[in-house]
Amino acid sequence: NAEKYKVLLSFETPDSGKTLLKFADNLTNKMNGNKSITAMNIAPVNELHAYDIEHYEQELFENVIETSNELKLEVTTLFKASTDIENDLISITNKGNYDLLLIMLGKSIYEGSLLGKLLGFTTKIINPEKLLKTVKGQSYIFNASPFDDFTLGILDKTNIPVGIMVDKNFESADKIFIPIFELNDFYLVEYAKRLINNNDSQVIILDAAGQIRKNTEIRELIRNIEHIAPNHITLYNEKTIEKEFLKSQDLMLISSKSWRNLIDSKSLWLSDIPSTLIISNP
């Protein structure tokens, strides 16, 4: 079982479970018996007291199970009532020999926040209390954090790659765009390779900082992929990222480091990004 590719997805709502499952399928579709997909929900104990737990679990997993049947994808489901969701998730992730953990970027972070504005989510009107606090000198509202605290904790304490989905009605990763800002981002190409192999995805790699042009080894790697799967991978050198181009893509893959830099620099094109998977490389 050691060589199986194991994906763990942890979701909060039935919808997010469905979204993450679709991506897990894109990543592993043609691997047949060589993959294992686990969909997990860890629920806060205090919300479960008065509730029939079995019924709650059934409702939560309904979408995931329905989607797995549509995709003909075998999924293991895992449900846990917890007093400490973050620690339980970290412990299950680290002990389970998984290759990848998939989670959603915490919704709360972009509702009515600067990050939500940056990412082009139509945000609710900012709470006036928040504005008052800002006037009093706490300007947290104007500083977009690239991740919510929960996600930061997970990134910090897990020892496997984590994929964090920013969902803009994700359906399927058919057209993928990968901006490479520095050579360390290049691990993303491994995921591109998997998506080409398993989902027949079309991948565009953007040499955003001109690093690839100077690197023979990496150009060679891209050429090899092109050789095995002709017409599936393209290298772009244009530095400007146009709205029309972003609108034509299904998914952006980006490194967690470059994501932080984009948010810190408040890059204008962020508001037009398609669904995005931010992948860490511990």
pLDDT in tens, 2-37: 589 999 999 999 999 999 999 999 999 999 889 999
Question: Is the pLDDT at 152 greater than 60, yes or no?
Answer: yes
56-102 confidence digits (pLDDT tens): 889 999 999 999 999 999 999 999 999 999 999 999 999 999 999 99
Residue 248 one-letter amino acid = S
pLDDT of residue 139: 44
Q: How would you classify residue 72: left for phi > 0, otherwise alpha for psi between -120 and 50, otherwise beta?
A: left
3-class secondary structure, 230: coil
CATH topology of domain 5-105: Rossmann fold (3.40.50)
CATH number of 169-253+260-279: 3.40.50.620
Q: What is the pLDDT of residue 116?
A: 74
- DSSP code per residue over 141-177: GGS--SS-HHHHHHHHH-SS-EEEEE-SS----SEEE
Q: CATH 3.40.50.620 spans which residues of the chain?
A: 5-105, 169-253+260-279
